[in-house]
Amino acid sequence: MIVDQGKNLDIINIVNYFSSITKTEVKQRGDAVSPNIKYSAVIAGTGFDVPEKILTNEDLEKILDTSDEWITERTGMKERRIARPDEAASDFAVRAAVKALAEAEVTPEEIELIIVATVTGDMPFPSTACIVQDRLGARNAAAMDLSAGCSGFIYALATARQFIATGTYRTILVVGVEVLSKITDWADRSTAVLLADGAGAAVLKADERPGQGIITTYLAADGAHGIDLYMPAGGSRIPASIESVQKRLHYLKMNGSAIFKVAVRSMADVVKRLLAQAQLRADDIKLIIPHQANLRIIEAMAKLINFPLDRVFVNIQKYANTSSASTIIALDEARKEGRIKKGDLVIMVAFGAGLTWGGVLLRF
């Protein structure tokens, strides 16, 4: 059968495809009750790695109709890291993982599962997790990728925690990595100034003491808003072709203002739900580590939940939006800067393509 590529390539069809999805009310979900918790999942080590190349707002002024003033005021971003043409996701993922494993004093052979959260893996398959497994020499580990946009690391952490809680695995490597510069339309100023590259990793270990590490998690999604943040081509609906490239369909498309509103509302909601699930108050939380998409989103979320900004971690000025990698890069920096001490309660919260959102409440 000859596929009508021309018809498939019509971006309007994709818009119709998304809007044909039944719009359903998002109901409460998550793990308000956490049955079968045999073991706590504790973070034994973290690490991150970013490209060497720094792209500043001033550099962007030279290639786009934008300004340092606009980017700083609207996003809080000052610079970001951009991969070389020959660098791919697994390069950063492996370097981040090596650092996390060293801190956790875990050898690659001890890892039983690798989860890599990414939407910009080395290639559609094999998974980037399998490539990382091979490159680390983690020959006893199962491996899989997880796609949840910028919430990817949170989804991966919650998934890993379930395997540990049930006693299935004792040692899991969780990585968040993104090379967004390779799916960025460098002619589109509304997205090009936001996106960046990097990786972060955490080693999770089983702990027999109850109430340690991950205390509770909450995950949610609303596919009806997928159209607000997506990459049209490169999948089975619009496979790569000369036409798909000419129509710039292999780049990320975003409705920034729609995402902005959902982001603020959903991240505030996640924090409230996590506190309610754990029967804690905002005062009990030492630090909130939000997805670094926009400083104004972070500030609006903090205001909505009446949480002091000095207890919200921000490093967006240095790394911009690294999607799946953003919360774990921020967590590693916060730990290494001494912002988190033993026993502190921390909330990690994110939203992203899907749309997805979620959070994790941890004791260090």
Q: Annotated catalytic, 291? A: yes
Q: Among 225, 291, 294, 315, which one carries the catalytic annotation?
A: 291
Q: Among 150, 225, 294, 315, which one carries the catalytic annotation?
A: 150
By CB under 6 A, tell whether 187 contacts ligand ACO: no
* Consecutive H or E run containing 106: none
By CB under 6 A, tell whether 321 contacts ligand ACO: yes
Residue 121 neighbours by CB under 8 Å, 6+ apart: 89, 90, 127, 128, 145, 177
By CB under 6 A, tell whether 265 contacts ligand ACO: no
Half-sphere exposure of 322 (CA within 13 A, CB side): 34
Q: Among 57, 294, 315, 321, which one carries the catalytic annotation?
A: 321
Q: Annotated catalytic, 130? A: no
Output the CA torsion sign for 302, 307, 312, 314: positive
Q: Single out the segment in contact with ligand ACO by CB under 6 A; choices: 105-113, 140-148, 185-193, 339-347.
A: 185-193
Q: Are 228 and 352 in contact (CB under 8 A)?
A: no
Shortest spacing between CB 77 and ligand ACO, in angstroms: 9
By CB under 6 A, tell whether 149 contacts ligand ACO: yes
Residue 1 neighbours by CB under 8 Å, 6+ apart: none
By CB under 6 A, tell whether 293 contacts ligand ACO: yes
By CB under 6 A, tell whether 180 contacts ligand ACO: yes
What distance in Å separates the CA atoms of residue 136 and residue 100, rounded to the nearest whole number? 12
**Contact pattern from residue 23 through residue 52 relative to ligand ACO, giving x for each residue in contact according to CB under 6 A and a dash for the rest:** ------------------------------
Place of tokens 């502190």: 344
For ligand ACO, give the closer residue by CB, 5 or 190.
190
Shortest spacing between CB 329 and ligand ACO, in angstroms: 14
User: Under rule CB under 6 A, how many of the chain's residues touch ligand ACO?
Assistant: 24
By CB under 6 A, tell whether 70 contacts ligand ACO: yes
Residue 294 neighbours by CB under 8 Å, 6+ apart: 74, 75, 76, 194, 260, 263, 316, 321
By CB under 6 A, tell whether 66 contacts ligand ACO: yes
By CB under 6 A, tell whether 323 contacts ligand ACO: yes
**Which residue in the set 5, 19, 107, 190 belongs to the binding site for ligand ACO (CB under 6 A)?**
190
* Consecutive H or E run containing 359: strand 356-363
Residue nearest to ligand ACO (CB): 256
Place of tokens 């990817």: 152
Q: Annotated catalytic, 140? A: no
**Which residue in the set 40, 75, 133, 181 belongs to the binding site for ligand ACO (CB under 6 A)?**
75
Q: Are 57 and 77 in contact (CB under 8 A)?
A: yes
Q: For residue 52, what is the DSSP state? A: S
Return the amino acid letter for 364: F
For ligand ACO, give the closer residue by CB, 196 or 274.
196
Q: Are 6 and 295 in contact (CB under 8 A)?
A: no
Distances (CA, A) of 85 to 53, 137, 141, 256: 11, 26, 30, 27
By CB under 6 A, tell whether 254 contacts ligand ACO: yes
What distance in Å separates the CA atoms of residue 208 and residue 212, rounded to the nearest whole number? 9
**Which residue in the set 256, 282, 339, 364 belongs to the binding site for ligand ACO (CB under 6 A)?**
256
Distance of CA 283 to the CA centre of its chain: 26
**Which residue in the set 138, 263, 325, 328 belongs to the binding site for ligand ACO (CB under 6 A)?**
263
Which residues are marked as active site? 150, 291, 321
Residues that bind ligand ACO (CB under 6 A): 66, 70, 74-75, 149-150, 180, 189-190, 193, 195, 229, 254, 256-257, 259-260, 263, 293-294, 321, 323, 352-353
